[in-house]
Amino acid sequence: MKELNSQKVQNKLRSKFLKAGVKMTGPETIFFSNDTKIGKNVTIEPYVVIGPKVKIANNIIVKSFSHLESCTIENKVEIGPYARIRPNTILREGSKIGNFVEVKKSTIGKKSKVNHLSYIGDSEIGKSVNIGAGTITCNYDGVKKSKTKIKDNVFIGSNSSLVAPVTINKQSIVGAGSVITKNVKKKSLALTRTTQIEIKNYKKK
The residues annotated with a catalytic role in the active site are 116
Over the range 8-21, which residues count as b (16 or more CB within 10 Å of their CB) and which as e? eebeebbeebeeee
Asked if omega into 81 is within 30° of 0 (cis), the reply is yes
For residue 132, give every residue at least 6 positions away whose Cβ sits within 8 Å of its Cβ, in sequence order, or none. Answer: 155, 156, 157, 158, 159, 160, 176
Q: Is 117 helix (H, G, I), strand (E, B) or coil?
A: strand
User: What's the 3-state SS for 121-151?
Assistant: ECEEECCCCEECCCCEEECECCCCECCEEEC
**8 Å CB contact between 162 and 138:** yes
**8 Å CB contact between 109 and 91:** no
- The amino acid that residue 117 corresponds to is L
**8 Å CB contact between 57 and 39:** yes
